[in-house]
Amino acid sequence: MNFTVKPVNQLLAERGLQKGGKVQKFIDSECIRRMAPYTPFRTGMLIRSATLGTVIGSGIIKQNTPYARQNYYHNAGRGTQGTASGGLRGPRWFGRMKSAHGKKILDGARKLSGARRS
């Protein structure tokens, strides 16, 4: 009995799992979309910078504003939609978004790749 196995790169490409593939693009886009309600909003530039600074499919979300890092770690969430007022906007928005929506994002990626749920 003989059988052949396709090369790893071909198997990954068939599922959209290669670097910059459809699954990574989906994950990047979903993270940016779901992160927006958690991101501090004064002018909206911090939210827009995630779209402008990120190459969708790279696996790295960049927010290229001079104040992004300061806000990520030290924002007090005191705005009308801030965490201090019972809202979502405040510090460490990616981690809080991931806690709330990470499973949904991974389920979407799983379906997109054609994988079965274990």
- Kindly report, residue by residue over 91-105, the tens digit of the pLDDT: 999 999 999 999 999
Q: Give the model confidence (pLDDT) of 44-91 as tens digits.
A: 999 999 999 999 999 999 999 999 999 999 999 999 999 999 999 999
1: pLDDT strictly greater than 90: no
Inter-residue contact 110 to 15 (CB < 8 Å): no
Distances (CA, A) of 16 to 11, 25, 77, 78, 105: 9, 10, 38, 41, 15
100 occurs within a structural domain: yes
Give helix then strand counts, H and E, for the chain: 5, 0
Distance CA 16, CA 117 (A): 17
* Domain assignment present for 27: yes
> How far apart, in whole angstroms, are the C-alpha atoms of residue 4 and residue 2?
7
What is the count of structural domains for the chain?
1
Residue 90 lies in a domain: yes
